[in-house]
Amino acid sequence: MTHKIISLLSISLSLIILTGCGGTQTRRIDATSNEGLVTTDDINFKDWQIAAEKGINSLLESGVLNRADGRKMILMISTVKNSTNEHIDTRILTDKIRYALLRSGKALTTTAIGGNGPDDRASRQVRELDQDDMFNQSTVKKSGTAIAPDMSLSGEIVQQQASSGRVRESYFFFHMALTDLDTGLAIWEENVEIAKQAKKPVFGW
Amino acid sequence: MKKRIIIITSCLLLLACQATVNTVENTEKFMLRESVDNSKVSTDSFLSRRLFIERIDKVELPDGLLKVQVTAVNTRTSIWDQMSTWFMKDNPYQIAYRFSWLDENGMDIKTGTQTWIPMTVIPGDTIRIMAISPNARCKDFTLSIKENQEARSNW
């Protein structure tokens, strides 16, 4: 009898351990779909996509990128201030906009200068080779050839939270602006608003 | 008799709870619009019974970009529609749309985002879905609209 109980206990324990070891189920999802997770307090990837899409549509429609001489505008990515409670990388937004502008054929982006330092330090580094004997000096990039930007893209993301009873709400306000660096005037601005709600269950958390 | 009273009372109660939109607009129009054949919009039969594509307009901007506007109306305003939308929990109706752009050879042009954009449509309301082509090479477009199940509230 004791032997039977020990066997039963061993089987049950093994089953419990096996259940505990069950791997997390993971699947790939289409990043352009609406299948992603929706969390109230964070900016999810879909929110970035919506903000970027609306910003790009507005910027292209505004016509501020068109120049009378046909030359392409040179754009510098300045800073996007994070005024939310979360740690977020605002680069997702600016990268999507700069990619769309490049594909539009209306603007080029400089990586030699940026609000948080240059995206690519190479433009400066290669000019420092003018004292290096290892390099053929006629192939070293000359100073005074880099093109300065005409405009800068900046923005701010603001979050406001509210709750009432079991319902919690987050409101994200994306502000984007394009500044003409000649005059310092904002020649284009757009606001995108995203609001999300969550309701806690009666039991549990 | 009792049954009839219950049914009529329920219908009246539902009518009172109706969440539809009433719109007013000017009859004399001044706008000049270039219409597009609405075969460029793809929806399923379920959605097309709820969202009627009224018209598609396009305009070429001075810099060669194409601006497209699709006007649609949520036609689910009758009492029976209200009852079914209440039962199906699709009031307000949640949709998602996405534009695809094609060049003059019919080749798909990749854009920076090309994502499904969610939108809420209240019964009786007219919505205007708008997009700008990503570059001047875009000559045609396809608008896909689907039900946005993920945005439906289950509260």
| Residue A164 scores a pLDDT above 90 | yes
Beta-carbon pairs below 8 A across chains A and B? 66
Residue A43 covered by a domain = yes
- A63 in any annotated domain: yes
pLDDT(A183) > 80: yes
Chain B residues 49-108 with CB within 8 Å of chain A: 61-63, 65, 67, 96, 98
B83-110 average pLDDT score:
83
- Give the number of other CB atoms < 10 A from CB of residue A154: 18
The region of weakest confidence among A66-70, A162-166, B22-26 is B22-26
Residue A177 included in any domain: yes
Complex ipTM more than 0.95, yes or no = no
The number of distinct structural domains making up chain A is: 1
A57 touches chain B (CB under 8 A): yes
In a domain, A157, yes or no: yes
Measured between alpha carbons, how far is A31 from A49 in angstroms, rounded to an integer? 10
Here the CATH number for the domain that contains residue A52 is 3.40.50
Contact B77, B20 (CB under 8 A): yes
d(CA A94, CA B77): 42
For chain B, list the domains and their CATH numbers: 32-149 (2.60.40.3230)
Contact A32 B110 (CB under 8 A): no
| Residues in Cβ contact with B147 at an 8 Å cutoff, skipping those fewer than 6 apart | B46, B47, B90, B93, B94, B95, B96
Encode pLDDT of A70-91 as tens digits: 889 999 999 999 999 889 999 9
Q: Is B135 on the interface with A (CB under 8 A)?
A: yes
Q: What is the mean pLDDT of residues B62-88?
A: 82
In a domain, A75, yes or no: yes
Any bridge partners for residue B108, and if so which?
A: B102
Q: What is the pLDDT of residue A169?
A: 94
Q: Does a structural domain hold residue A189?
A: yes
Write out pLDDT tens, residues B97-135. 999 999 999 899 887 667 899 998 888 889 999 999 999
Q: Give domain status of residue A146, yes or no.
A: no
Angle of helix B2-16 versus helix B79-88 axis, rounded to 10: 80
Domain boundaries, position A94: 39-119+151-199
Is A62 within the bounds of a domain? yes
- Per-residue pLDDT at A160: 95
